[in-house]
Amino acid sequence: MYKIINDYNDMPLFQMRGTGALVVAAMLDLLTFALCAPYSETTDGKQFDILLEKVADRGRTLYRLFQAPSHTIVKGAGLIMKAIIEEVFF
């Protein structure tokens, strides 16, 4: 799990090159299932907190994904952003 979290830091590289949409979509799916309700109910609390913190630190990258031509990527970024907002502010 921690290797996947660290690989998340490579996501802007794919985005800058304009390639790797499937890799980005797969990473967003993984983050969605780990962070977003109702799937996050099965994520261990400690791992959830670590993952949420690492994803929240990369906020600008998530905002850039809203400009992606793929609706799947935009929706995934939106769900993750919603989860961050709900956990931090509520």
DSSP readout, 5-74?
Answer: HHHGGGHHHHHHHT--HHHHHHHHHHHHHHHSTTGGGGS-HHHHHHHHHHHHHTHHHHHHHTT-S-HHHH
Give the confidence band of 10 by pLDDT, cuts at 50, 70, 90.
low
pLDDT at 2: 47
Two tokens at 67?
A: 């400009």
Whether 35 contacts 83, CB under 8 Å: yes
Q: Which residue has the higher pLDDT, 3 or 31?
A: 31
Amino acid type, 36: C
Say which DSSP state 79 is in.
Answer: H
Across 13-22, 47-56, 79-88, least confident range: 13-22
Across 1-10, 12-21, 22-31, 78-87, least confident range: 1-10
